[in-house]
């Protein structure tokens, strides 16, 4: 320890007058007497008032000398040298990804809490004119406070920061941090992280014109996670559950896997599994489920005999929404087409029927109607439609050329419905060109761009059009035909309002509201409700920060008309693997010490605070001595009883 003002040591000479005052002080003892008449002569005696007294042990004298010593020590400004960061502008970037919720700190402290404590300690070493900002690196980076010299604002921002439940977008967070160096040459960025900087190998480090350093947190790698959970129920079959348990530690783990219909229900499945270190264990269960179950929740916990710890609780629970794959009904209106009949009969989850064009359409409702080289007099408005080689125009839908065009080699467009469809070896003899198809997107075209297969949506109906007859091409003889038909029929299936039953934390989840809905009401896992106005057929819900089950209701004129659910889970291998890793940026490792110089940390405020505490103690002792002693209470005189004896 050193001193900035050692000359203040001369203040100790004030101890001399304090001691002299105690030696010169008259020492009279107060005593209560019945009368002062007999004491007049004593009071007039001046010999008792001797000017000098022998110095005796006195608690007040000791406390006063100690206060003086502490005040002199505070004036000398003692300090110790500590590592510090020197920069005119500093950006604190807190890693708020799910792995920072690991509890490998002391007393159950999470890594995020340790990172906040490290940031608080580094904040105290910065000079008073340094501008500081705090950025929370999560799936959506958040600026907690703009650049400021107000230390209280920075401390409040650090205290209010919370860890997330998903992966962090480091590219966006670092870009946001680098924006602060545009007008400041003396700039530094400090990352508080466990090293899980994903997708930063391609980051252009020149975007940050300053020093970048990292303060590492986290020490352990022991974690057991539910890395996958799904349920598949084929039409008419029993649901089958698939789960995957992952052990990222270095010790084999014994876990108990519990499956419930909801969080508080009795277990449907309770099994014990041994998961080897550093591997994943698949689980397949055919246990019967109640008919009314729509949501399943799985949970794992280390058994009592397990030697491995589970340090990340976020991935110990996962949920899945059961969606029954119901079969769809397809009507084929054709004079006879063996290729279509065979492919429709082989598609999974499809019940196909055939009708003659000369007869009226059946009254039975169908999900999809296929018109093969024919058109009805009146187009149905409910089902989805597939037109193959339409003979004439269809008002509002398409027009066809009067004369056929000689075919050529084909190619597919970049559309999900042409996935795995290879038409490079397919040839078409002739086709009738399509026009007025602004509602559709081309799926297969000729080399010169003429559309041969188009698909889209018009007026709430999904439809696809083949510009050629199957008999005019060798497409039915190619493997591309059943793949193309499967993709088209899958796109015709009724879309789920919640789109997919499972999503990832802090990732936007797609929603598809019904045509008649004016509002979507979303209930979050914690019970809070969000209402979204319907602005189109494709929407997204971005507030997926909580893990659990979300319920989506379609509202029409204030009344719910449809309800579905989707689950949000962690399911992130990079976050479940909590082993600390070295941080790098642009392929270069980062400096692991944010401090770049030594800075004095003054201790005088603590010394002055101790002096104040002792002063209060001295004041209490002084006033205690000024109180007069209370005389003891007089005991009542015992009375003697007399006994009379008669003779």
Q: In the chain, where are the structural domains located?
A: 2-81+603-626, 86-219+580-595, 224-318, 328-492, 502-569
Distance CA 537, CA 227 (A): 32
Distance CA 433, CA 155 (A): 69
Q: Coil, strand, or helix at residue 103?
A: coil
Tokens linked to 274: 């041994």
Distance CA 555, CA 510 (A): 17
The CATH number of 502-569 is which of 3.40.50.2300, 2.60.40.1180, 3.60.40.10, 2.60.40.1930?
2.60.40.1930
The CATH number of 86-219+580-595 is which of 1.20.1090.10, 3.40.50.300, 3.40.640.10, 3.40.50.410?
3.40.50.410
* 15 neighbors 23 (Cβ within 8 angstroms): no
Tokens linked to 207: 């975007």
DSSP class of 630: P
The pLDDT value recorded for residue 84 is 61
- Does the pTM surpass 0.75? The reply is no
Instruction: Say how many C-beta atoms besides its own lie within 10 A of residue 368's C-beta.
Output: 23
Q: State how beta strands 78-84 and 597-602 pair.
A: antiparallel
Distance CA 535, CA 513 (A): 9
* 453 neighbors 467 (Cβ within 8 angstroms): yes
The pLDDT value recorded for residue 7 is 80
- Beta strands (DSSP E) in 474-583 are 502-504, 509-511, 519-523, 529-533, 539-541, 548-556, 559-569
**Mean pLDDT, 10 residues at a time, the chain of 647 residues:** 77 78 64 66 53 68 84 82 73 93 84 92 85 92 92 94 91 85 79 79 70 88 92 67 91 92 79 92 83 86 88 93 75 92 85 90 86 90 89 92 85 88 90 92 91 89 93 91 90 72 83 83 94 84 92 90 90 90 75 62 82 86 68 60 51
Q: Partners of 533 in the beta sheet?
A: 519
Distance CA 254, CA 233 (A): 30
Minimal CA–CA distance to 220: which of 92, 108, 97, 96? 108
DSSP class of 406: E
* 551 neighbors 523 (Cβ within 8 angstroms): yes
* 369 neighbors 330 (Cβ within 8 angstroms): yes
CATH code of domain 328-492: 3.40.50.880
Q: Partners of 444 in the beta sheet?
A: 412, 453
Lookup result for tokens 């002062």: 36
Minimal CA–CA distance to 526: which of 543, 514, 502? 543
Distance CA 393, CA 401 (A): 9
CA 55 to chain centre: 70
What phi, psi does 104 have (nearest 5°)? Answer: -100, 15
* 235 neighbors 114 (Cβ within 8 angstroms): no
Distance CA 47, CA 58 (A): 24
* 418 neighbors 412 (Cβ within 8 angstroms): yes
Tokens linked to 394: 């269809």
Give the list of residues 6+ apart from residue 281 with CB closer than 8 angstroms, or none.
244, 245, 246, 247, 273, 274, 275
Tokens linked to 628: 């007069």
* 512 neighbors 539 (Cβ within 8 angstroms): yes
Do the domains at 86-219+580-595 and 328-492 have one common CATH topology?
Answer: yes
* 600 neighbors 533 (Cβ within 8 angstroms): no
In this structure, whether the domain defined by 224-318 belongs to CATH 2.60.40.3230 is answered with yes
Give the list of residues 6+ apart from residue 279 with CB closer than 8 angstroms, or none.
246, 247
The pLDDT value recorded for residue 640 is 57
């Amino acid at each position: 320890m050193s001193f900035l003002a050692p000359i203040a040591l001369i203040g100790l000479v004030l101890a001399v007058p304090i001691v002299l005052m105690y030696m010169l002080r008259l020492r009279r003892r107060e005593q209560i007497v019945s009368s002062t008449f007999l004491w007049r002569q004593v009071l007039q005696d001046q010999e008792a008032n001797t000017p000098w007294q022998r110095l005796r042990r006195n608690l007040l004298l000791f406390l006063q000398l100690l206060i003086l010593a502490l005040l002199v020590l505070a004036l000398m400004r003692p300090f110790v040298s500590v590592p510090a960061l020197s920069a005119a502008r500093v950006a604190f970037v807190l890693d708020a990804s799910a792995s920072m919720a690991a509890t490998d700190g002391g007393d159950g402290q999470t890594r995020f809490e340790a990172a906040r404590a490290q940031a608080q300690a580094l904040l105290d070493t910065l000079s008073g004119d340094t501008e500081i900002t705090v950025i929370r690196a999560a799936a959506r980076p958040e600026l907690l406070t703009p650049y400021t010299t107000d230390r209280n604002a920075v401390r409040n921002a650090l205290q209010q920061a919370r860890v997330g439940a998903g992966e962090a977008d480091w590219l966006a967070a670092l870009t946001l941090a680098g924006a602060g160096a545009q007008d400041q040459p003396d700039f530094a960025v400090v990352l508080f992280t466990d090293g899980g900087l994903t997708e930063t190998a391609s980051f252009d480090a020149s975007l940050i014109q300053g020093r970048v350093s990292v303060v590492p947190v986290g020490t352990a790698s022991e974690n057991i996670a539910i890395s996958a959970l799904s349920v598949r129920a084929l039409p008419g079959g029993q649901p089958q559950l698939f789960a995957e348990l992952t052990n990222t530690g270095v010790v084999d783990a014994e876990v108990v896997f519990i499956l419930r219909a909801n969080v508080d229900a009795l277990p449907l499945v309770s099994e014990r599994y041994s998961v080897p270190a550093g591997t994943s264990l698949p689980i397949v269960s055919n246990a019967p489920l109640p008919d009314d179950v729509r949501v399943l929740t799985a949970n794992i916990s280390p058994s009592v005999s397990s030697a491995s710890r589970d340090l990340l609780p976020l991935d110990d629970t996962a949920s899945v929404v059961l969606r029954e794959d119901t079969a769809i009904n397809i009507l084929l209106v054709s004079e006879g087409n063996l290729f279509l009949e065979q492919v429709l009969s082989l598609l999974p989850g499809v019940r196909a029927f055939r009708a003659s064009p000369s007869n009226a359409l059946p009254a039975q409702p169908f999900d999809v109607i296929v018109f093969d080289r024919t058109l009805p007099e009146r187009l149905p408005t409910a089902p989805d439609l597939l037109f193959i080689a339409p003979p004439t125009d269809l008002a509002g839908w398409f027009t066809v050329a009067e004369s056929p065009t000689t075919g050529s080699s084909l190619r597919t467009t970049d559309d999900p419905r042409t996935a795995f469809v290879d038409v490079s070896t397919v040839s078409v003899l002739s086709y009738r060109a399509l026009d007025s198809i602004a509602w559709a997107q081309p799926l297969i075209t000729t080399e010169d761009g003429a559309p041969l297969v188009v698909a889209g949506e018009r007026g709430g109906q999904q439809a696809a059009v083949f510009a050629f007859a199957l008999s005019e091409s060798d497409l039915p003889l190619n493997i591309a035909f059943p793949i193309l038909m499967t993709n088209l029929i899958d796109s015709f299936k009724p879309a789920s309002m919640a789109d997919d039953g499972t999503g990832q934390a802090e990732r936007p989840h797609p929603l598809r509201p019904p045509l008649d809905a004016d509002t979507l009401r979303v209930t979050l896992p914690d019970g809070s409700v969000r209402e979204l106005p319907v602005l189109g057929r494709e929407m997204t819900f971005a507030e997926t920060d909580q893990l659990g089950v979300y319920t989506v209701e379609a509202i029409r004129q204030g009344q719910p008309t449809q309800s579905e659910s989707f689950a949000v889970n962690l399911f992130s291998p990079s976050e479940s693997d909590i082993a600390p890793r070295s941080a790098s940026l642009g392929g270069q490792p980062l400096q692991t010490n944010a401090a770049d110089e030594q800075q004095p940390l003054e201790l005088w405020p603590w010394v002055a605070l101790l002096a104040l505490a002792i002063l209060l103690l001295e004041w209490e002792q002084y006033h205690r001595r000024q109180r007069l002693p209370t005389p003891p209470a007089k005991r009542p005189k015992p009375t003697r009883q007399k006994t009379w004896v008669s003779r």
